[in-house]
A = this chain, B = another copy of it.
Amino acid sequence: MSDSSSKAPVNPEKLDKLAQVAVHTGLGLEPGQDLLITAPLTALPLVRKITEHAYKAGAGIVTTFYSDEEATLARYRNAPDDSFDKAANWLYDGMAKAFENNTARLAIAGDNPMMLANEDPEKVSRANRATSKAYKPALKKISGFEINWNIVSYPNPKWAALVFPDLPEDQAVEKLADAIFAASRVDQPDPVAAWAEHNANLHARRDWLNEMNFAALHFTGPGTDLTVGLADGHKWAGGASPAKNGITCNPNIPTEEVFTTPHAHKVNGKVRSTKPLSYQGTLIENIEMIFKDGVAVEVTATKGNDVWNKVLDTDEGARRIGEVALVPHSSPISQSGVLFYNTLFDENAACHIAMGQCYSECFVGGDKMSEEEVTERGGNSSLIHIDWMIGSGAIDIDGITQDGERVPVFRKGEWA
């Protein structure tokens, strides 16, 4: 069509709905609450829509902090060596202070996943470490759910080019935008209502799993025969949940998973990945692992094998798992068949396990437990947390009760 080039690649009506989902479903923003947004500059159209809907919802002050790929690269290419051990402490301390004062937090994901692929890995790791250290007090308030928070995505052109390498930029952005909209349920007539229904479904699954209080899950499928023992006193989570400030939020848009903490010493058998894993610019494919008493004792991948094995050498906990998550094969993200190169999406396309750190919230009474208690109950501890996909339309899962009985949980990739 002759007028297709004049069409905006990101549908403005759906973008408006995504902003509404982020503000209402994602954050549950309350009147009078301030909002802090972090976003790449490329997400400007979504930031503006979210700002509008946040104020309409009664926000006090909306403040956006933008990151810019070009400025980041200018640093890697021009800054003196000691720059890479520094961070803007004043900014991260300020964010922590904002959260202390009940400011809600919204992050827009959508950076170029390959942004740093050509930079000096040692500088990248030093800069990440310095930023992580500076960000820790603020991140603790987010991951500890002191305030309501949400992550939502916007299609960066370079991200789109990675996902749809054969399309011209405009079409790739349009397709990625549509995939984000579908995964975020904003292609539905009333997205906020669709999310309410979806949350109710996730909560029903979560509550059933908590009632069953399985001792273990047994995964079987092509290349997979894996028993995942669950942590003592584990608790399943998924869907909307209340933050400690009393506001119910959906931290991730999209989200399709119910998940809990496995027992770091009770994982046995073999498992094969069902989708490629994108890790910091490297694609890792066809992972196969054999677990013995929680440790991955044999690890191979047909692509990215070295990178993957090196990551698992990070620390002792990196070869054990800290999360097991159930996602039906019929989830919209899985059905799209798109590999997003972005965990926010890819982990919601299939059942997955995560190497490394567990979630202390996934224990009964977890918010009051010491690190020692978490470890005692089988919670894993590591500097990494990397989800990788083990689910498909061919996977069966049995729950094994505390009495040793088997209960069907998944059959052919769907809830039994």
Contacts and interface: CB of A to CB of B under 8 A. Distances in A.
B94 A75 contact: no
A316 interface: no
A289 B34 CA distance: 46
Interface string A78-95: 111011001111110111
B48 A86 contact: no
Given A31-B80, A79-B59, A74 B51 contact: yes
Given A90-B101, A97-B90, A103-B90, A64 B55 contact: no
Contacts of A98: 88, 90-91
A148 to B, nearest CB: 17
Interface residues of A, number: 44
B68 A44 contact: yes
A88 B74 contact: no
Contacts of A405: none
Interface in A258-301: none
A34 B68 CA distance: 17
Majority DSSP secondary structure for residues of A touching B: helix
A52 B70 CA distance: 9
A61 interface: yes
A103 B86 CA distance: 13
Most chain B beta-carbon contacts within 10 A, residue among A52, A56, A74: A74
B34 A55 contact: no
Contact of A75 (B55, B65, B75, B77): B55
A155 B332 CA distance: 45
Contacts of A47: 68, 71
Contact of A90 (B64, B79, B83, B94): B94
Given A55-B83, A90-B94, 19 more contacts: A32-B80, A34-B86, A34-B88, A47-B71, A55-B77, A55-B78, A55-B79, A59-B79, A60-B80, A60-B83, A60-B86, A62-B71, A63-B88, A64-B68, A66-B66, A90-B95, A90-B97, A90-B98, A94-B94
